[in-house]
Amino acid sequence: MPETLSPDVCVIGAGSGGLTVAAFCAMLGAPVVLVEKDRMGGDCLNAGCVPSKALIAAARRAHDIRQASGFGIRAGEPAIDFAQVMRHVRDAIATIAPNDSVARFSALGVKVIKGEARFLGPGAVTVGDTTIAARRFVIATGSRPLLPDIPGLDALPFLTSETIFDLAACPGHLGVLGGGPVGLEMAQAFRRLGAEVTVLERDRLLPGEDPEMVDVVRRQLQDEGIALLEGVELTRVEGEPGALRLIARRGDDDGAIGVSHLLVATGRRANVENLGLEAAGVAFTSAGITVDKTLRTSNPRIHAIGDVGGGPQLTHVAGWHGQMVAQNILFRRPVDTGGTAVPRVIYTDPELAQVGLTEAEARKLDPKARSLRWPFAENDRAVTARRRQGHIKLVISAKGRLLGASIVGAEATELIGLYALALAKGGTAAELAAIVLPYPGLSEVGKRAASTYLQARLGNPWIGRIMRLLRRFG
């Protein structure tokens, strides 16, 4: 039966961004319709953050067992039951899934419609027989793997983030095309689970990250036996299923690498197709829907958030967008994606976390910007846990104001939050050096780095003069 709904808000896509908008609106009593064509929870829950971090956690256990002899515990080579590892991955998804389910959102008061949404015009969307004429729309349709045009690739089976978590057996030799976050996280996880792994990256590993921090990750991956081929172009894929030949070129040299499986992890493309964006008057390019810094599209009644908007493709960014846009729709609270420093983490071991400016970015804006470092090897907690790799780097202005923080080392994800707060509050190295932190703790690495700023100032001749003056008073 055709029906027309007229909610305040229609959200398209039930991933991290869309779910946040829908939950926020429903909890405040605004009528909201949420349309999802596939699985509730989107990419993060079903084929992204959750399965990847579950797999990484399993792989870490295998690695810890191999490393246990350093603690005086003899364990030997772990026996890996890959089917059970994958059950653990599915179990993690299934445990979290109820939070994102139709049942939960319906109970919150959201009208959830399963189907593909398409704009009929600037103020109406159709899903099957239903037309939704909402006051405001939020497009949160996410992204999907971007597949490079490489001769032979489409004729042979290959994996992407959408299929790798369905593997029934561990690959014998996993080729990974792309040394970005997906490629490196999966390369290390599969290596630890027993696969031979070769990464092919046409640039350098993690090209968007500080090279000094990436070096620490690179060394660890190499130590674990991962072959890292940087500056190479994959020119052709040959062979047959289970026995692929990757023909790659570096400069004028061609070489072939035999692998059993190939993971293509060369970035993502925004889901802008088949949405009727032209009918809606929403401008877009192949990079995504065009939005201003308030996340508004060229149609002022329509916002676009998360991966489809072409900004940083991260779950917490999609959620943050969703929260701001919901507040804007309900309370006219201004949206501003400009000023906030958003952390990002590569979940390799050691983890690489970044917030604010990298050293190179800061120097471009302020040639007097400086860096303060402290190694994990000089941190007592890291030493006791045999997790001595890596360091923190705080980037500060000439006057000591924090501009950015990079951490490569144990628990970098958990450590970076402090620096996100410090950046938001205009914090300084002196303030970071003054915090009292529990001993022993990894968080002390940042305090020690910040303290080097003060130590450098102790050489100032005025300090000696002031001390001599004060001595005269007893």
Ligand X SMILES: Cc1cc2nc3c(=O)[nH]c(=O)nc-3n(C[C@H](O)[C@H](O)[C@H](O)COP(=O)(O)OP(=O)(O)OC[C@H]3O[C@@H](n4cnc5c(N)ncnc54)[C@H](O)[C@@H]3O)c2cc1C
Ligand Y SMILES: NC(=O)c1ccc[n+]([C@@H]2O[C@H](COP(=O)([O-])OP(=O)(O)OC[C@H]3O[C@@H](n4cnc5c(N)ncnc54)[C@H](O)[C@@H]3O)[C@@H](O)[C@H]2O)c1
Which residues does the annotation place in the binding site for NAD(+)?
Answer: 178-185, 201, 267
Chain positions 225 to 284 lying near ligand X, rule: CB under 6 A, are 271, 275
Candidate ranges 38-46, 228-236, 446-454, 460-468; the one touching ligand X (CB under 6 A): 38-46
> In whole angstroms, what is the distance from residue 251 CA to residue 263 CA?
23
Length of the chain: 474
Phi, psi of 333 (to 5 degrees): -70, 130
Q: Which does 140 bind (CB under 5 to 8 A by kind): ligand Y, ligand X, none?
A: ligand X
Chain positions 253 to 292 lying near ligand Y, rule: CB under 6 A, are 265-268
Q: Does 178 bind ligand X (CB under 6 A)?
A: no
Are 138 and 19 spatial neighbours (Cβ–Cβ below 8 Å)? Answer: no
Which of 112, 199, 318, 415 is close enough to bind ligand X by CB under 6 A?
A: 318
Tokens of 305: 């958030």
Q: Does 347 bind ligand Y (CB under 6 A)?
A: yes
Q: Please state, in angstroms and as integers, the Cα–Cα distance from residue 95 to each residue in 60, 89, 101, 295, following that order.
A: 20, 10, 11, 32
Residues near ligand Y (CB under 6 A), total: 25
Q: Which long-range contacts (CB under 8 A, 24 or more apart) does 19-22 make?
A: 19/100, 19/105, 19/322, 20/318, 20/319, 20/321, 20/322, 20/323, 20/326, 21/138, 21/140, 21/305, 21/322, 21/325, 21/326, 21/329, 22/105, 22/108, 22/110
- According to DSSP, the β-strands at 9-12 and 261-264 are unpaired
Q: Does 387 bind ligand Y (CB under 6 A)?
A: no
Chain positions 189 to 208 lying near ligand Y, rule: CB under 6 A, are 200-203, 207
Are 24 and 323 spatial neighbours (Cβ–Cβ below 8 Å)? Answer: yes
In the complex with ligand X, the residue whose CB is nearer, 108 or 430, is 108
Are 95 and 230 spatial neighbours (Cβ–Cβ below 8 Å)? Answer: no
Minimum CB separation of residue 413 from ligand X in Å reads 9
Minimum CB separation of residue 384 from ligand Y in Å reads 27
> In whole angstroms, what is the distance from residue 281 CA to residue 364 CA?
38
Minimum CB separation of residue 32 from ligand X in Å reads 15
Candidate ranges 83-91, 135-143, 220-228, 392-400; the one touching ligand X (CB under 6 A): 135-143
Tokens of 376: 């994990």
Bridge partners, 81 (sequence order)? none
Minimum CB separation of residue 121 from ligand Y in Å reads 32
Residue 149: other Cβ atoms inside 10 A: 6
Chain positions 329 to 358 lying near ligand X, rule: CB under 6 A, are 347
In the complex with ligand Y, the residue whose CB is nearer, 390 or 427, is 390
Residues whose CB falls within 8 Å of the CB of residue 55, separated by 6 or more in sequence, listed in order: 85, 89, 165, 186, 189, 193
Q: Which does 210 bind (CB under 5 to 8 A by kind): ligand X, ligand Y, none?
A: none
Which of 45, 182, 193, 392 is close enough to bind ligand Y by CB under 6 A?
A: 182
Q: Does 36 bind ligand X (CB under 6 A)?
A: yes
Which of 9, 10, 14, 86 is close enough to bind ligand X by CB under 6 A?
A: 14
In the complex with ligand X, the residue whose CB is nearer, 18 or 175, is 18
Minimum CB separation of residue 317 from ligand Y in Å reads 9
Residues whose CB falls within 8 Å of the CB of residue 99, separated by 6 or more in sequence, listed in order: none
Phi, psi of 170 (to 5 degrees): -70, 130
Minimum CB separation of residue 282 from ligand X in Å reads 13
Chain positions 288 to 307 lying near ligand X, rule: CB under 6 A, are 306-307
The interface mask with ligand Y, positions 141-180, x = CB under 6 A, is -------x----------------------------xxxx
Chain positions 59 to 88 lying near ligand X, rule: CB under 6 A, are none
Residue 427 identity: G
Q: Does 140 bind ligand X (CB under 6 A)?
A: yes
* Known binding positions for FAD: 53, 141-143, 307
> In whole angstroms, what is the distance from residue 148 CA to residue 397 CA?
41
Q: Which does 128 bind (CB under 5 to 8 A by kind): ligand Y, ligand X, none?
A: none
Residue of 187, 235, 229, 173 lying closest to 205 (CA atoms): 229
**Cis geometry, peptide bond prior to residue 440 (ω within 30 degrees of 0):** yes
Q: Which residues bind ligand X (CB under 6 A)?
A: 12-18, 35-38, 42-44, 48-49, 52-53, 116-117, 140-143, 161, 182, 271, 275, 306-308, 313-316, 318, 347
Q: Which residues bind ligand Y (CB under 6 A)?
A: 148, 177-183, 185, 200-203, 207, 234, 265-268, 313-314, 344-347
